[in-house]
Amino acid sequence: MTDSKYFTTTKKGEIFELKSELNSDKKEKKKEAVKKVIASMTVGKDVSALFPDVVNCMQTDNLELKKLVYLYLMNYAKSQPDMAIMAVNTFVKDCEDSNPLIRALAVRTMGCIRVDKITEYLCEPLRKCLKDEDPYVRKTAAVCVAKLYDISPSMVEDQGFLDQLKDLLSDSNPMVVANAVAALSEINEASVSGRPLVEMNAPTINKLLTALNECTEWGQVFILDALSNYSPRDSREAHSICERITPRLAHANAAVVLSAVKVLMKLMEMLSDETELVSTLSRKLAPPLVTLLSAEPEVQYVALRNINLVVQKRPDILKHEMKVFFVKYNDPIYVKLEKLDIMIRLASQANIAQVLGELKEYATEVDVDFVRKAVRAIGRCAIKVEPSAERCVSTLLELIQTKVNYVVQEAIVVIKDIFRKYPNKYESIISTLCENLDTLDEPEARASMVWIVGEYAERIDNADELLDSFLEGFHDENAQVQLQLLTAVVKLFLKRPADTQGLVQHVLSLATQDSDNPDLRDRGFIYWRLLSTDPAAAKEVVLADKPLISEETDLLEPTLLDELICHISSLASVYHKPPTAFVEGRGAGVRKSLPARSAGSEEPQTQQPTVIPNQDSLIGDLLSMDIGGPPAPAAPASSLDLLAGGLDVLLGGGPEPAVGGVAGATGSATGLLGDIFGAAPPPSYVPPKQCWLPADKGKGLEIWGTFTRQNGQLRIDMTFSNKAMQAMSGFAIQLNKNSFGVYPAGALSVGALAAGARTDASLPLAVGGPVQRMDPLNNLQVAVKNNIDVFYFACLIPAHVLFTDDGQLDKRVFLTTWKEIPAANEVQHTIQNVIGTADSIAQKMTLNNIYTIAKRNVEGQDMLYQSLKLTNNIWVLLELKLQPGNPEATLSLKSRTVEVASCIFQAYEAIIKS
């Protein structure tokens, strides 16, 4: 008879009957009763009333019964903590049992019971189990340390368990090593400081590599993940690790293969591209990745998402494997779409004929989503592989002739992009496109067709009639189509003003008077003013040459791609998003990035693709407004680390990336004239001095001080007063570890101070020193020593002196980053008693390294979009709403590290009211 009988009981007074059975003298009856209790617990019945009776059953030699009782304890200990204490003695006794299975079971269960009172008793048994003679007990105890750290981090550190875990890395049993690695990895990720509590070094890594060959598959995954977090000292060590990991690529388990790929991709960054090893590894990486595509569809999809990242980073690895990405008839749609994406990434002049043949066949499939993607893929191939453009256009025309509605619409969308890429080359097909105008019913296709008609109006005889037909249902059109119609009609008027005056007046009236879309209204007003005041200027603006679309515009941003490569074989590599985007709290872990490439592997600078902005984006439209002067050049994506996230960066410091070309792009006229005539630039805000050390606490020494930042140099300006009866000398200063790593960059220059005398001193400061979380974050503890005594005091560093002068973002980067940061990371603050206009406030902010990216007036409110960067590379994005005549302003802040918000808000209050 099966165990299902335990789930079918319908007795009345069941709890009472179970209670008597649990107290039975017969062992078999007792075991049957516990099984019934567990069955009831499993289906959701409350059997917590039986807690003392079940605990009494712990005193048994029967392993099966003991396991069942432990299972019950884990479930109910939290709701009955006082009763759970009754079981402690049995746990401690079981940890010294002669049977290793019972010892391991006891320590595992104690680790799973998250009750503080029991945790106190866990330490001694756990310490013994970590040194147990049986490897099964040691490996179970290793995982228990990680569970204990989750309950009480301080206890693990104080009791020396971390050192014992580190010792287990040298264990003779590979599974013990694997579990120790897994526990340490989890503890490092959960570390409050954001820094690894246990650093890996070369000897430890060597031991892990030795254990790698003998572990189970999941043990190998744990060890490979730990190796991926290790940065070798030089290319020779990286070379050695690569050679010892390469055999894992032949493993049958997909998780092991992908983990090995992750480690090798990271280590290849440290090797020069010219070395033979890199080309050898590239050849060896292809077969295991291809083999993953013969697994079941779900594994294929995960493999394809990871391969997509690998191909973007190193396309050479799979350049000869195009055929394996050809779609099979029985592939699920999610696999088909992913394969299609990789085919386009691998498309080149050598294989384009083969690819186009496949894509043309896909475009005749029955699955609508797949057909759309295939048609769009043909257009992307035309943009990517220039010699094939003509063949791609011919293929698209053939597809348009099929008259299949959704095929025609997708073809028109991609042909618009082809016109952008190859101007004055394929315009002869416009007449064919115009024949299909009436069949278009999707906003994107209609908007693309309208753009084509407006852009090439001089070549289309009846362009005015075509656009007029769209205007009949103007109010029912999608916002994207309305915006394109407005622009297309203005283009037509500028090209053929004589016979289109009525048309342009009609569309401007529709856009400005009858529409409630602010983007459309504003664009209409701009065109109206341009046309009425200076038609020549309007022509220069509206008919300006469009930037060419270069290659693919859907590639991941380089810093994000580097981070995702470090997360291959995890959810981040499937979502193509960093962990911080979908995991809240400590589970997001420390932000990872690839090591800097070795000197020999620097790649030539390639032109960044021009991305066509999405017109649906309100912020995008706001940011498209200039605020005086040319826009700041975009920072090189590879060096701009915008998403430096979490308190781990705030507390961990790290090397500061070089951000080129963004500093000072909106320097005011005053600043420029100052440079020419040698005049000093306007000063940034300096807080008034405060009394940091009163004379009664300093034995007659009184210290007043403030912080300043001049020409990029952070300083403490102090006034020392001697109110004692004796002279003071031998002054020295020391700063404690702090959140921003601020430390003295020179000695304190204060000479002998006679009784009643006072003197000023300025101490230069630097950042990048030891870091420690302070509360509040900008708290600084200072010690000043002289011939009398050592005096201690604390002061607050005003946040604005920590703002760097390279904190200005390009508008498009600002927009992308604002969208990337989750809404949960947005904080608002109201500023009272605001004085001044938006322009004067923006100027004040610029002097203090808060850069205005864009300014916009929305419904009478002035909106300033601003960015700043702290000395420890944390970026902060802000939106300041001001209403003329209203003394209140609303400040919205977005950052990966919202802990800095209160400091930033204090800085804004001080600067605005200065």
In terms of C-beta distances under 8 Å and separation of at least 24 residues, what long-range contacts does 139-142 make, across chains too? 139/173, 139/175, 139/176, 139/178, 139/179, 139/180, 140/104, 140/107, 140/108, 140/179, 141/104, 141/107, 142/168, 142/176, 142/179, 142/180, 142/182, 142/183
Q: How far is CA 430 from CA 241, 380, 461, 492, 710, in A?
A: 58, 19, 11, 16, 60
What is the pLDDT, as a whole number, of residue 704? 93
What is the pLDDT, as a whole number, of residue 172? 86
What is the pLDDT, as a whole number, of residue 602? 40
Nearest CA to 227 among 275, 252, 195, 261? Answer: 261
Whether the ω angle into residue 776 lies within 30 degrees of 0, i.e. cis, is: yes
Sheet harboring 690-693: ordered strands across?
690-693, 701-710, 713-722, 758-766, 743-744
Q: Any idea which residue has 């693919």 for tokens?
A: 552
Q: Output the pTM of the full model.
A: 0.60
Query: Could you count the other beta carbons within 10 Å of the beta carbon of residue 82?
Result: 9
- 580: its two tokens: 């911080």
Count of positions (residues) in the chain: 914
In terms of C-beta distances under 8 Å and separation of at least 24 residues, what long-range contacts does 284-288 make, across chains too? 284/246, 284/249, 285/249, 285/261, 285/310, 285/317, 286/317, 286/318, 286/320, 286/321, 287/249, 288/249, 288/250, 288/257, 288/260, 288/261
Residues paired with 870 in a beta bridge: 803
- Tell me if 54 sits within 8 A of 21, measured CB to CB: no
**Quick one: 29 exposed, middle or buried, by C-beta within 10 A (0-12, 13-18, 19+)?**
middle
What is the pLDDT, as a whole number, of residue 642? 36
Residue 692, φ and ψ in degrees, nearest 5: -90, -35
553 Cβ contact list (under 8 Å, min separation 6): 609, 610, 611, 612
What is the pLDDT, as a whole number, of residue 483? 92
What is the pLDDT, as a whole number, of residue 673? 31
CA dist., res. 735 & res. 50, Å (int): 59
Q: Which amino acid is at 320?
A: H
CA dist., res. 878 & res. 827, Å (int): 10
- Tell me if 910 sits within 8 A of 801, measured CB to CB: no
What is the pLDDT, as a whole number, of residue 55? 74
User: Where do runs of H (alpha helix) occur along 661-769?
Assistant: 669-677
CA dist., res. 110 & res. 634, Å (int): 56
Residue 875, φ and ψ in degrees, nearest 5: -95, 145
161 Cβ contact list (under 8 Å, min separation 6): 126, 127, 130, 145, 148, 149
Instruction: List strand residue ranges (DSSP E) for 496-641, in order.
Output: none
26 Cβ contact list (under 8 Å, min separation 6): none
User: Where do runs of H (alpha helix) occur along 213-351?
Assistant: 217-228, 235-245, 254-268, 276-291, 297-313, 333-346
Nearest CA to 53 among 74, 77, 69, 40? Answer: 69
Nearest CA to 674 among 664, 660, 685? Answer: 664
User: Where do runs of H (alpha helix) occur along 638-778?
Assistant: 646-652, 669-677
The helices-and-strands tally (H runs, E runs) of the chain is 38, 13
Query: Could you count the other beta carbons within 10 Å of the beta carbon of residue 184?
Result: 26
Q: Which amino acid is at 75?
A: N
Query: Could you count the other beta carbons within 10 Å of the beta carbon of residue 816?
Result: 17
913 Cβ contact list (under 8 Å, min separation 6): 833, 834, 835
What is the rounded (10 degree) CA torsion for 386, 387, 392, 395? 170
CA dist., res. 89 & res. 92, Å (int): 5
CA dist., res. 519 & res. 899, Å (int): 34
Per-residue burial over 877-901, b if 16 or more Cβ lie within 10 Å, else e, is bbbbbbeeeeeebebebbbbbbbbb
Mean pLDDT by 10 residues, the chain (914 residues): 53 68 76 82 80 76 78 76 72 81 84 74 84 89 87 82 85 88 83 67 84 86 87 84 89 90 87 76 88 90 92 87 88 91 88 88 87 88 86 88 87 87 81 81 89 85 83 85 91 86 87 87 90 86 79 73 89 89 63 60 39 36 38 37 35 36 36 37 78 89 91 89 88 89 88 88 88 85 90 90 88 86 86 85 88 84 89 88 85 88 89 83
Instruction: Give the angle subtended at the CA of 782 by the CAs of 779 and 788, to the nearest 5°.
Output: 155
